[in-house]
Amino acid sequence: MNQHSNFLSEISDFLYPRSPYYGQFEPESLTFNAHLQDFSQRVDYICSLQTGGKLSSQEAYHQIHILWKQLKMTKKQLSIH
């Protein structure tokens, strides 16, 4: 069972890499950084799908646009300037 959980952990780390946060330690900044990294990862997947012919350019743009709006809303809710 332990090998199985290690494998899943390694897969998760590969699919969803996280970089350390080097900014000022504030809860809002840490939260925004997590959302920013998630945005970046999702945009990377969308771009790969579009490049691989699985998504049209218009659909990729639409999905990235939605993610961008969500990120902007998160920033506004956290009152980050």
Domain assignment of residue 41, given as a range: 26-81
Give pLDDT tens digits for 9-59.
Answer: 676 666 666 677 777 888 898 899 999 999 999 999 999 999 999 999 999
pLDDT at 6 over 90: no
Farthest-apart Cα atoms in the chain, separation: 46
| Number of neighbouring beta carbons within 10 Å of residue 46 | 19
Is residue 21 in a domain? no
pLDDT at 72 over 70: yes
SS3 call for 18? coil
Is residue 68 in a domain? yes
Which residue bears the tokens 């998760």?
Answer: 12
Is residue 13 in a domain? no
pLDDT at 1 over 60: no
Is residue 52 in a domain? yes
Distances (CA, A) of 4 to 10, 11, 12, 18, 30: 10, 11, 12, 21, 30
Is residue 2 in a domain? no
Query: Domain total for the chain?
Result: 1
* DSSP H or E run through 36: helix 27-51
pTM tops 0.95: no
